[in-house]
Amino acid sequence: MDVIPSLDLLGGRVVRLTHGDFATVKTYGEPEVVLDSLGVPDGSRLHVVDLEASRSGRPVETGIVEQLAKRDLVVQIGGGIRTVDDARRWFDCGAARVVVGTVAAESPALLEELADTFGAARIVPAVDIRDGVIRVAGWQREAGATLAEVFARFEALQIPEALVTDISHDGVLRGPSFALYRMLAEKTKTRIIASGGVSTVNDTVSLSRHRNISGCVIGKALLERRIDLRDARARVSVPNAIPERVIPCLDVRDGRVVKGVNFTNIRDAGDPVECARRYEEEGADEIVILDISATDANRETALKTVRRVAGSLFIPLTVGGGVRTIEDFRALLRAGADRVAINTAAIRDPELIAACAREFGVQAVVLSCDAKRDGDRWLATVRSGKELTGIDAVEWCRRAEQLGAGEILLTSVDRDGTNSGFEIDLLRAVTSVLRIGVIASGGAGRLEHFLDAIECGGARAVLAASLFHDHVLTVGDVKAFLAGEGIPVR
Amino acid sequence: MQVTLIDSPVANTANIARALRTAGADLHITREAEAIRTAEKLVLPGVGSFAAAMRWLIDMRIDAAIRDAVDAGAALLGICVGHQLLFEASSEMGMTRGLGLVPGEVRIFEGRLPVPQIGWNRVAARGPLFAGVEDAVFYFVNSYAATHALHEIASADYGGAFTAAVQKDRVFGVQFHPEKSSAAGLRVLRNYIQWT
């Protein structure tokens, strides 16, 4: 998949408009200076929009396109192209392709003439979609033709690629419209250049897993430095082979697996060894044990449980609950845990993370963060979500990474036990600022939730408890579903 | 089949012992250089620091015992840092010499992905060690790896290709943790135990 920088031009400068409104123009500078600052190498494909041309209906920024073409950039240019002569003018300036919007949906005869005159591969139809319906004329009205009709036309003309923007996702940095692209994969063989909402490197990785997507254009997120172009290109060029993990969680109390919404009405759900072994057989990639009764008084019971489970598994085991000191941490590793999750004690003494990373290695340290929404941010909580701290959860996860945590177990306190889906905004906020992996926890209820947490949330692992204990879904069900949607699993 | 597990303190010996027994080994666990020198099938585990693991082998004169055993025709399987120790050197802490049983060096990952690699990864594998492995996905925890090793029998990608396993004659090494890799890992151990 090609990661394509997108530049909107107005008055010879790179700009951004908010929701297409010329009153909201924000200027970023001269195109070549901007390209250099973004690290766009020669030979790159570049998506350029001539905003004045789209308003006036005549090519305007022809001089700039000439300069860019001379730099060996493969320019696809759009903006108010309504005649064969408009397109010719851009090709004469050195553009490699022209992007046509309204024409593509509204003027089949002209689209055919463009394809015949310049070659179908040099025409990129742009389709803007809201709620499954094509919008034209600056998104102001519905197109006369349906999605199916328009794409059938592209296929008949042998146009290889179409630029597809989900209007509701454009410029709001909440992730691309994966569902739309999945729907199109079933409707058309035309390859898709995804546009709109791409705001993290993970978004580009997730798009690259869609087999019908040949490229994605990125504008705002590059200009605002949320995405590093080289980083994104490196990440999408590696093979899609590192499996995402599915992790059952055993909440253990006094040596028994328990379940209950928000830790009230707790019910017995079986023996931890039997549960863990069953999950390994079903294909679990790791087991998490959270011992909710791990106080000093019954620490020995907790360690015994860990020894029993660890001694029956051949997959990694992560254990958390009541870890206060480096000695607690060591005792759990000795009992057979591969990794130990710290929560409350790390908030009270962040140095504990660094001390454990030094003593046992980064790979052994998991920070468990229970986050609760507070207005437009999230606060870290302690004591299983019962006590709010004043600490910003996203900042706290970032700090934990710096201190030496190897992974974050991120639980949405608001979603936990609700089966209403993982909290995607929280996941995006955390995964977009970390290099280490995040395990999504809290809210899993349906197969699609797991996909969403990985694809849109950027999680590297998904965790659920009651869903698996209650046999609503098996680990195998989740992995088969993810594999079917193009997510690599073991 | 008798297998001699080298009881390094810089290793997760207990987990590997349990996996080897499950895979059918009649296990002898030892730190005695003499027992290692006369063994027919050895396993060298290791986690953490290459330098610390190598230092212990030298202090216990086990490095020489391993070389003697291999010269006399013993089979050897290195696991994780035990696999790295088979090479000539590691760039950990400047440059630390290894056992030199297989050519090549171990270096830190230089891709854009977080280090250490913690998790499952898919490997492209061949040879008797991987016979009958249905889905070659194994569990890794490592910051260092060999790349394009001469005797590579398995490779994987972590922001760039790296060597996941080697075999030179009777010396095998696996960068991953077979004892944490569920059925695929146990199969690799069983293949080693039964290999002649």
Alpha carbon of residue A350 to chain centroid: 28
Say which residues have a Cβ less than 8 Å from residue A99's Cβ, sequence separation at least 6.
Answer: A47, A49, A76, A77, A78, A79, A81, A124, A125, A126, A163
Domains and CATH numbers, chain A: 2-237 (3.20.20.70), 245-484 (3.20.20.70)
How many Cβ contacts (< 8 angstroms) between chains A and B? 70
Interface probe for A, chosen from B182, B187, B190 (most Cβ of A below 10 Å), is B182
* pLDDT at res. A380: 97
Asked if A384 and A258 count as a contact pair (C-beta separation under 8 A), the reply is no
| B142 beta partners | B117
Rounded Cα gap, residues B122 and B126, in angstroms: 13
| Tokens 């860990």 found at | A306
Rounded Cα gap, residues A145 and A143, in angstroms: 5
Residues of B carrying an active site annotation = 80, 177, 179
| Tokens 């008055």 found at | A11
DSSP A363: G
State pLDDT tens for residues A223-248: 999 999 999 998 898 776 789 999 99
Sequence-distant contacts of A392-396: CB under 8 A, at least 24 apart: A393/A369, A393/A426, A393/A430, A394/A429, A394/A430, A394/A433, A396/A347, A396/A369
- Domain boundaries of chain B, sorted by first residue: 2-194
- Residue A237: count other Cβ atoms within 10 Å of its Cβ: 11
Chain B residues close to A460, C-beta within 8 Å: 119
Helix (H, G, I), strand (E, B) or coil at A180: helix
Q: What sign has the CA pseudo-torsion A208, A209, A213, A216?
A: negative
List the one residue out of A198, A208, A196 whose CA is nearest residue A233. A208
A474 Cα to chain B: minimum distance (Å): 18
- Compare CB distances from B121 to A241, A314, A336 and report the shortest one's residue: A241
Orientation of helix A201-208 relative to helix A178-187, angle to 10°: 20
At A220, phi and psi to the nearest 5?
A: -55, -45
Say which residues have a Cβ less than 8 Å from residue A250's Cβ, sequence separation at least 6.
Answer: A257, A272, A275, A276, A287, A288, A289, A290, A309, A465
In single-letter form, the type of residue at position B97 comes to R
Chain B residues close to A454, C-beta within 8 Å: none
Rounded Cα gap, residues B44 and A363, in angstroms: 21
Chain A residues close to B122, C-beta within 8 Å: 241-243, 488, 490
B72 Cα to chain A: minimum distance (Å): 33
State pLDDT tens for residues A71-108: 999 999 998 899 999 999 999 999 999 999 888 888 99
List the one residue out of A86, A89, A384, A92 whose CA is nearest residue A100. A86
* pLDDT at res. A262: 55
DSSP A417: T
Orientation of helix B13-22 relative to helix B182-194, angle to 10°: 70
The CATH number corresponding to B2-194 among 3.30.70.100, 3.40.50.10800, 3.90.930.12, 3.40.50.880 equals: 3.40.50.880
Helix (H, G, I), strand (E, B) or coil at A115: helix
Residue contact B185–A245, C-beta within 8 A:
no
Chain A residues close to B157, C-beta within 8 Å: 238-239, 241-242
CA dist B79 → A173, B22, B85, B140 (Å): 44, 17, 9, 11
List the one residue out of A195, A194, A162, A222 whose CA is nearest residue A5. A222
Say which residues have a Cβ less than 8 Å from residue A232's Cβ, sequence separation at least 6.
Answer: A3, A201, A204, A218
- Compare CB distances from A363 to B116, B158, B186 and report the shortest one's residue: B116
Chain A residues close to B19, C-beta within 8 Å: 314
- Compare CB distances from A280 to B19, B158, B182 and report the shortest one's residue: B182
Asked if A298 and A322 count as a contact pair (C-beta separation under 8 A), the reply is no
Which is it for strands A461-464 and A437-441: parallel, antiparallel or unpaired? parallel
* pLDDT at res. A310: 96
Interface probe for B, chosen from A242, A309, A313, A435 (most Cβ of B below 10 Å), is A242
Asked if A266 and A258 count as a contact pair (C-beta separation under 8 A), the reply is yes
* pLDDT at res. B113: 83
Q: Cα–Cα–Cα angle for A388, A390, A395, nearest 5°?
A: 110
Which is it for strands B2-6 and B41-44: parallel, antiparallel or unpaired? parallel
Residue contact A314–B186, C-beta within 8 A:
yes
Any B CB within 8 A of A479 CB = no
Alpha carbon of residue A4 to chain centroid: 18
Asked if B4 and B42 count as a contact pair (C-beta separation under 8 A), the reply is yes
State pLDDT tens for residues B32-79: 999 999 999 999 999 888 999 999 999 999 999 999 999 999 999 999
Orientation of helix A62-70 relative to helix A84-92, angle to 10°: 40
Asked if B23 and B189 count as a contact pair (C-beta separation under 8 A), the reply is yes
Radius of gyration of chain A measured on its C-alpha atoms: 26
Q: Beta-strand (E) ranges in B103-175?
A: 105-108, 117-125, 137-142, 144-146, 152-157, 161-168, 171-174
DSSP A263: G
* pLDDT at res. A291: 87
Chain A residues close to B18, C-beta within 8 Å: 311
Output the average pLDDT for chain B.
95
- Compare CB distances from A235 to B22, B112, B118 and report the shortest one's residue: B112
pLDDT less than 70: residues of chain B: none
Dump the DSSP string for B39-71: -SEEEE---S-HHHHHHHHHHTTHHHHHHHHHH
Residue contact B122–A231, C-beta within 8 A:
no
Query: What totals of helices (H) and strands (E) does chain A contain, helices first?
Result: 21, 24
Instruction: Order across the sheet with B171-174: list the strands.
Output: B26-30, B2-6, B41-44, B75-79, B171-174, B161-168, B152-157, B117-125, B137-142
Residue A355 structure tokens: 């001390």
pLDDT less than 50: residues of chain A: none
Interface probe for B, chosen from A240, A314, A332 (most Cβ of B below 10 Å), is A314
Rounded Cα gap, residues A130 and A140, in angstroms: 11
CA dist B62 → B11, B32, B80 (Å): 15, 8, 18
* pLDDT at res. B192: 98
| A164 beta partners | A127, A194
* pLDDT at res. A141: 86
Asked if A50 and A89 count as a contact pair (C-beta separation under 8 A), the reply is no
